Amino acid sequence: MLRNSETRFGLVTIVLHWTIGLLILGLLLLGFIMRRTGIDPALQFALYQWHKSFGFAALGLALIRAIWWLVERTPSPPASVSPLERKAARLTHDTLIVLAIVVPFAGWAVASASTLNIPSFFFNMIVIPHLPLARSETSENFWTFAHALLAYVTLALVAIHAAAALFHHFKRGDEVLTRMLRPGVRPVGAGSGGTSARKRDDAAVERK
């Protein structure tokens, strides 16, 4: 249930996937709003601090996700997925896992290199130290640009990733999306398959 199987995602992967996904989308939205010109300055300050706290939360979870991805097996794609699609999926997933770590790090670098030297006070609970970067306007501008650029690349990949999942679900009728929604046990015929998994598999077959 917690662990991945040969064809199914476990609860750990699923919870991490959706939590990080929601955080990424929320952070993109927050980042977009807080950079708007004409925003109320007090609100802007608050949004920046929320963005930093949620960004650190995303970084922590993304690191756990990456470790989990390295130590845990990755379920094979359904048989209907072609070798080229497998390669594209693999590349997208690997890149997303890396970007989920790199983007927050770049954000952390912005806070660290900024001449404003505003502490990162994680949800007003603990001060997260700055990265050992020299504080300068040039450095701050560079990291701000890198953080934003990488964030937009992430957004593009998330869009492709989501579109592919929807394509698989609605056009192909396979289990690519559904197996990331509910933790599965072993598939039909593997011995200990639960009834819920059996029903889902049946449904998938019927759609085909």
Partner 1 sequence: MTVTINSAVKATVYIAFIFSTSAANAQAPALADAAGSYRIASSSSIRFSVGQVGGGGGIAGRFAKFSGGFRIDGGNIERSSVEFTLYPESVRASERRVEDFLRSSAVFDAANFQTVTFRSTRVRQTGPATATIEGALTARGKTRKERFAVTLIDWNRRSISFTIRGSIRRSPYGMDVGTPIYSNVVEFDMRIIGQRR
The answer to the question of residue 123 lying near partner 1 (CB under 8 A) is: no
Contact positions with partner 1 (CB under 8 A) in 162-201: none
Contact string (CB under 8 A) for partner 1, positions 14-43, x = contact: --------------------------xxx-
Q: What is the distance between the alpha carbons of residues 42 and 24, in angstroms, rounded to a whole number?
A: 24
The answer to the question of residue 138 lying near partner 1 (CB under 8 A) is: no
- Contact by Cβ (8 Å): 201, 188: yes
Contacting residue, 116, 134, 195, 206, with partner 1 by CB under 8 A: 116
Nearest distance, CB of residue 110 and partner 1, angstroms: 14
Nearer to partner 1 by C-beta: 32 or 121? 121
Q: Stretches 58-66, 67-75, 109-117, 148-156: which one binds partner 1 (CB under 8 A)?
A: 109-117
Contacting residue, 13, 49, 112, 154, with partner 1 by CB under 8 A: 49
Q: Stretches 29-37, 124-132, 147-155, 172-180: which one binds partner 1 (CB under 8 A)?
A: 124-132
The answer to the question of residue 45 lying near partner 1 (CB under 8 A) is: yes
Write the DSSP assignment of the chain as a string of letters.
Answer: --S--SS---HHHHHHHHHHHHHHHHHHHHHHHHT-TT--HHHHHHHHHHHHHHHHHHHHHHHHHHHHHHHSPPPPPPTTS-HHHHHHHHHHHHHHHHHHHHHHHHHHHHHHH-TT---EEETTTEEEPPPS----HHHHHHHHHHHHHHHHHHHHHHHHHHHHHHIIIIII--STTGGGTS---SPTTSSS--HHHHHHHHHHHHH-
Nearest distance, CB of residue 147 and partner 1, angstroms: 18
Binding footprint of partner 1 on the chain (CB under 8 A): 40-42, 45-46, 49, 115-119, 121, 124, 127, 129
